Structure 1
Amino acid sequence: MLRLVPNPHRPIMSEQPDTRLDEHALLQLIGEGDSAAFETFYKNYYPRLFRFILRMTHQPEAVEELIQETLLVVWEKSHSFNNESKISTWVFGIAYHKTLKAMAKSARRRNDYDIDEWTETIGDPTANPANNWENEDWLNYALATLPPDQRAVIELTFYHDLPYQDVAKILDCPENTVKTRMFHARKKLQVFADTQEI
C-alpha cells in the first residue's frame, strides 16, 4: 500500500511555526486537500493508533498497514465526519472496524495464544525470541486471552482514557454492552493474574 506520509516521526516543516490547529480545523483543511494538515493529523494519531491496533491484534507486522488504511479513510472521507462524536471517537471507530476485518481474514483463531505456553515462555526469554517484546509485560499476555471486543474495551477505557459513551460509539454497540464486556474482561484478567507470579 502506498504510504501517505513518508515518515510519521519526522518534524513537520511549516511556514507558520508553532501554529496549533484544533482537530476540527485540521479535518476541514484535510477535506480541502491540505497535505500539511493531514501530516499534522497523521503525526498526532500515529502513536495512539499504533498502540491500540497492536494491543488488538498482537501482530506487529500488521499494524503499519492498518494505520495506513485507517488514515486513508480520514484523508478520503473527512467531509463525512458529522460532528455527532469526538473526532478521536470517529478515528478509533474506523481503526477498530478495519482491525476486526483484518483479524477475520487472517488464518488465526481469535484466541491463538495458549496460557500454558506463555507460562513456560515467561520463565525462558530465549524460548521464543520473536516474541520477547511481549515477555517484558505480563499484561500483554493477559490481554491476549481476551476476545477482541473485550480487549478493545480495556484498551480504549484505560489506555486512551475514553468514557464508556465514546467506547460504545467506536465499537458500535450499546453502552450497557460496553459495561458488560468490561465486567467479563476484568474477571478474566483477574483469573489470569491469580495464575501468575506477579
Structure 2
Amino acid sequence: MDHETDMSTSVDASITAWALAARSGDAAAVERFVRALHRDVQRYVAHLCGDPQAVDDLAQDTFLRALGSLHRFEGRSSARSWLLSIARRAVVDSFRYASTRPRLSDVADWQLAVESAQPCGLPGFDDGVALLDLLAALPEERREAFVLTQVAGLPYADAAEISDCPVGTVRSRVARARATLVDLLYDGAL
C-alpha cells in the first residue's frame, strides 16, 4: 500500500468512527461526519443527476436520510460507501418523482434561457464543461465507476459496493471509460 492509500484508509476509518459515535447522539460527531462527506456527496449527486440546480437539495436529502437511519449503521462498510449508496438512491428516487410530474416552461426557447443563465468566463469553467461533455459520452455504468474511483477517489471495493457489482466489473468499467475518453480526446469528437 502506498502513502496515499494509507491516508485514505485512515480518513475513512475516522469518518466511520464519527458515524458510529453519531449513532449514540454525539452532536459533535454528527457535525464532523457531515462536514467530512458533504463535498463528496455533492460531487457524486452532481454527476449522477446532471442538474446543477438539484445538487444541494439532493445532498440535503441524502444527509436527512442518512441521519434518520444512522441507528442502523453498524460500521461493516465504510461510512463513505454507506452514505454514497444512500445518495445514489436519493437521486434515483428524484428521477422517479420527476418522471411523474409534467415539466413546464414559460419561455418559448427554454434551452437558450438555460444556456444564458450558466456562468461563463470563470477560471476552469471551459475545462469543466469539456469534462462534463466527455463524461456524458460514456455509458452510464462506466461513467458511474469512473466518477466514483477517479473523481471522488473511492477505492474500487467501495465503488463496487455502491454500484452493487463485483470489484472486477468496476475495474473493467473504469478501464473502458478511460479508453473511451482517450479516444474521444484524440478523435476530437467533442
Q: Same fold per TM (> 0.5)? A: yes
Alignment of 1:111-130 (within 5 A): 128-130=115-117
| 2:54 is equivalent to residue 67 of structure 1 | no
Please report the RMSD computed on the Cα atoms of aligned residues, expressed in angstroms: 2.8
Instruction: Give the deviation of 1:71 after TM superposition.
Output: 0.9
Aligned counterpart for 1:50 among listed residues 21, 42, 45: 42
Counterpart amino acid of residue 29 in structure 1: A
- What is the TM-score normalised by the length of structure 1? 0.68
Q: Deviations over 1:35-62 (max 9, x none)?
A: 4432222222111111121122221111
Distance, in Å, in 2 between the alignment partners of 1:89 and 1:78 is 13
Aligned counterpart for 1:187 among listed residues 167, 173, 179: 179
State the number of aligned residues: 160
1:130/1:194 Cα in 2 relative to 1: closer, same or farther (>3 Å)?
Answer: farther
Pick which of 67-76 and 23-32 moved more: 23-32
Distance, in Å, in 2 between the alignment partners of 1:196 and 1:174 is 33
Alignment of 1:1-198 (within 5 A): 22-107=14-99, 128-132=115-119, 135-137=126-128, 138-196=130-188
Secondary structure of the residue aligned to 2:53 is helix
Q: Structure 1 or 2: larger helix share?
A: 2
- Percent of aligned positions that are identical: 28
Q: Which runs of 5+ in 2 are unaligned?
A: 1-12, 100-113
Q: Which runs of 5+ in 1 are unaligned?
A: 1-20, 108-126
Question: Does structure 1 conserve the Cα–Cα contact (< 8 Å) formed by 2:41 and 2:84?
Answer: yes
